[in-house]
Amino acid sequence: MNKKIKVIEIFNIISNGDYEALPLNIEVDGKKYKWDILEHFYSKENGDREDLLQLSTVYDTITFLDMNAEILDKVEDNTEEIEELDLTKKQNIWDKLSMCEDKINELVKVVKEIRKDLNKC
């Protein structure tokens, strides 16, 4: 089941300028929309220039802002591709990096956990 968010919440995220927190793909009123990163608007997924805001001309303001948007974004599980590094077997410049091996492996583990948690949403 995909996560839901109110349309008003999406507009709050936009007004705060926190574009990285925006879902890239949503479905509202049975129509799929995709966030245009360059032009900063939700257009219909089929490539039309129809904006999510056009729904506000179909519904009254309160109904429109209170609508649920289903978040269609899915975090890909690429954890198999992430492997812990063994930099001690490398030479030259890698020898200097071996001091960071434990920290790098910690980061890899954290990334794996984050991906698992995001896929549960």
Q: Which pLDDT belongs to residue 83?
A: 62
The domain spans of the chain are: 4-71, 79-120
DSSP letter for each residue of 61-109: HHHHHH-EEEE-------GGG-----GGG--THHHHHGGGHHHHHHHHH
Do the beta carbons of residue 55 and residue 65 sit within 8 Å? no
Q: Which pLDDT belongs to residue 66?
A: 96
* Tally of CB atoms within 10 A around 8: 14
pLDDT at residue 99 is higher than 70: no
Q: What angle do CA 12, 45, 75 make, to 5 degrees?
A: 70
pTM to 2 decimals?
A: 0.59
Instruction: Give the tens place of pLDDT for each residue, 3-59.
Output: 999 999 999 999 998 888 899 999 999 999 999 888 888 998 776 778 999 999 999
